[in-house]
Structure 1
C-alpha cells in the first residue's frame, strides 16, 4: 500500500442508539454504515474532510445488537480510499451476517475483485462529488470508472453503489442503469424535498424503479434535516416505496459523519421507518428479503 498512513489526532465519539420500540423481523439488515479504526491498526489513507469517528467494528456491532439488526452492510468511507483492510476485518467478524461495499479503481484486475467477493464484498462504491476545481473528493472513485469496470464486476458478482449531488444523478443515472450490473443509489439520490414529486430527478427515479433498473437506499437523515419526523420527506418516500417495494433498501448511515450534535438516534429512525412502511409484509421486504436478495445472505 503506497498511500500514507494517517492517524487522526482527535476522534469524534459517535452517538450510540437507544432500543427501538419496534421489534424488527429476524435477519433485518441495516444496509448502510461505516467503520473507522482502530487507527493504529487501520490508519486512514487520505486526509479526511470530516472529524474522524471512533467507530471500530466492536462499536458498530454493539450498535447493531442494541437496535436488533441481525445483518448489516458496511460501506467503505472515502478516507480509506482503495485500502479495504478495516472493511474486510469487520466483515470477517460475522461473515454470515455482514457484507461490504469496497472501492476500486478502473483497471483493477479480475482476481483482485474476486478476492474482495470471497471476503464478503458485494459491490463497489462510486462517488461523483467534486470540489470547485473539479477534483474528486480524496479517496473517491468517480462515475467515469464504472463503465470500464462493469464487465469484470459482473464476472465477480459485484454491483455498483453510486452517490453524488442531485445533478450528477440527473446526468448519469439513466446510462449507468444500462451497464449490465445492478446499480444501488445511495441516500435517496440526494433529492431536494422542497422540489416535490414533480422534480425531474424524482420522476427519473420513479421511472427507473418501476422498470426494475435500480435499487434505492432509504436514508432519510441524509436528505432532510427536518428531524425527528422528517415530514417534508414523507410524500417522496412513499412514492418511491410504492414505485417498486422490491427494490427498496434501508440504511441508517451510522456513525453519521459531518452531523455532530445533529446525529440522529438509529432507534428513532427505525421506529419512523416502521410507521412509514405501514404493514408487516413491507417491513419484511425492505429489511429482510431485499437485502438478502441483493447481498446474498443465506436463509
Structure 2
C-alpha cells in the first residue's frame, strides 16, 4: 500500500549534529516514535495525518549517534491501536527499548500479556482534539484498571488549558501517570502565572504524577538559534522545564520526540535538542536523575540494582 505524507509537514532532520553535551552512561531517550514503514506496517484508516516513514533502524542509528543507551518508543496516533510497528521495534531492540502502546477496550488479556512480553510498559491516552477522536472516559478507566495489574502506567497527552476539565479524571487513574511535554504550557505566559502554577499543583498534590520535560521545539515561540539569532536553543521554554526538574527531580523524564511529527515551521536538529538538557537540568545529579535513574526505575526496575552497581564500579 502506498502512502503520501500530509502536505506541508516536514521530514525528520537527516543529518543531526553531534551534541556538545555528553549524556551520562546508561541514558534513556524516554519519548520517541517509529512510523511504518507504511509498506510493512500500514497507517491507520482513521489517522488524522500521514507521516514520513521513520523506521526502527533509523531510530537505532539516531540513538547511537546521540549517545543514548536505551529508548522508550511511544505509539503514535497515525498507527491507531495497531501496535505492530512498535512491537517490531521492541522485539528487535535486544532489550534496549520499552514501549507505550495504544489499546482499545476489546483487547484480550492474552494480547496484553503478549505486549508485555514484547516490552510494553504503558498505554497512552491522547486528549489533543486535532489528533484523535474522543474516547469515552469510562472506557479509558476500564483500560487503566486492566493494565494496572501488569504494573504498567498511563501516559497522558493534553494541552494546559484543558487541565481543569481533566483533573478529576486524571487523579482517578489507578496507575502512575506520566504527562507528555509538561502538559503543553503556553510559554508566552509567566512561569509563575496561574496556568503553570496549576500544573505544578497537579504534580505536587499527586505524587504518582510524572512529567516529560520534552518537546521545546513544539512549545517555543522564539524557536531554535537559526531562527531567533540566540546562542541557546528554545530559550523561552527553559524556565518551565527547569522549574519542573528542580521541583520534582525524581519524577521527570526527557525524550527527543523523534521523528517530530506534525511540524511545519522547522524541523529540529536532534543534536541541539540534547544540548538543551544542561539548560534545564543544571547539575550532574539532576542530569543523571532525568536521563538514567528515573527512566530505569520506571521502565527497567528489575535492572536498577545491577545498573547502579556497574556505575559505582566504573567510577571507582
TM-score w.r.t. length of structure 1: 0.89
Q: Secondary structure of 2:86's match?
A: helix
- Map 1:205-216 onto structure 2 (within 5 A): 205-211=199-205, 212-216=207-211
Q: 2:294 aligns with which of 271, 286, 290?
A: 290
Structure-2 change in CA distance of 1:145 and 1:203 (3 Å): farther
2:67 and 2:164 map into 1 onto residues whose CA distance is: 36
Corresponding residue for residue 3 of structure 1: none
- Map 1:136-151 onto structure 2 (within 5 A): 137=132, 141=135, 143-151=137-145
Instruction: Indicate conservation of the 8 Å contact 1:170/1:201, yes or no.
Output: no
Instruction: Indicate conservation of the 8 Å contact 1:104/1:141, yes or no.
Output: no
- Map 1:37-56 onto structure 2 (within 5 A): 37-46=36-45, 48-56=47-55
Q: Secondary structure of 2:276's match?
A: helix
Runs of 4+ in 1 over 4 A off after TM superposition: 140-144
Corresponding residue for residue 230 of structure 2: none
- Map 1:56-205 onto structure 2 (within 5 A): 56-130=55-129, 137=132, 141=135, 143-205=137-199
1:13 and 1:238 map into 2 onto residues whose CA distance is: 29
**Unaligned stretches of 5+ in structure 2?**
225-232, 308-316
1:102-122 deviations in Å (ceiling 9; x for gaps): 001134333322221111001
Q: 1:7 aligns with which of 2, 7, 19?
A: 2
Instruction: Indicate conservation of the 8 Å contact 2:26/2:69, yes or no.
Output: yes
Q: Secondary structure of 1:193's match?
A: coil
Instruction: Indicate conservation of the 8 Å contact 1:73/1:100, yes or no.
Output: yes
2:263 and 2:86 map into 1 onto residues whose CA distance is: 22
How many residue pairs are counted as aligned between the two chains? 289
1:13 and 1:150 map into 2 onto residues whose CA distance is: 34
Structure-2 change in CA distance of 1:45 and 1:213 (3 Å): same
Q: Secondary structure of 1:194's match?
A: coil
Instruction: Indicate conservation of the 8 Å contact 1:249/1:286, yes or no.
Output: yes
2:135 and 2:26 map into 1 onto residues whose CA distance is: 31
Structure-2 change in CA distance of 1:142 and 1:192 (3 Å): farther
Instruction: Indicate conservation of the 8 Å contact 2:37/2:55, yes or no.
Output: yes
1:18-58 deviations in Å (ceiling 9; x for gaps): 21011111111111111112221111122543342220111
Instruction: Indicate conservation of the 8 Å contact 2:124/2:154, yes or no.
Output: yes
**What is the RMSD of the two structures over their aligned residues, measured on CA atoms?**
2.1
Q: 2:220 aligns with which of 221, 224, 233?
A: 224
Structure-2 change in CA distance of 1:191 and 1:143 (3 Å): farther
1:162-214 deviations in Å (ceiling 9; x for gaps): 11222332221343133220101011101101222344442232123234231
2:173 and 2:5 map into 1 onto residues whose CA distance is: 42
Q: Secondary structure of 2:149's match?
A: helix
Structure-2 change in CA distance of 1:286 and 1:202 (3 Å): same
CA apart distance, 1:78: 0.8
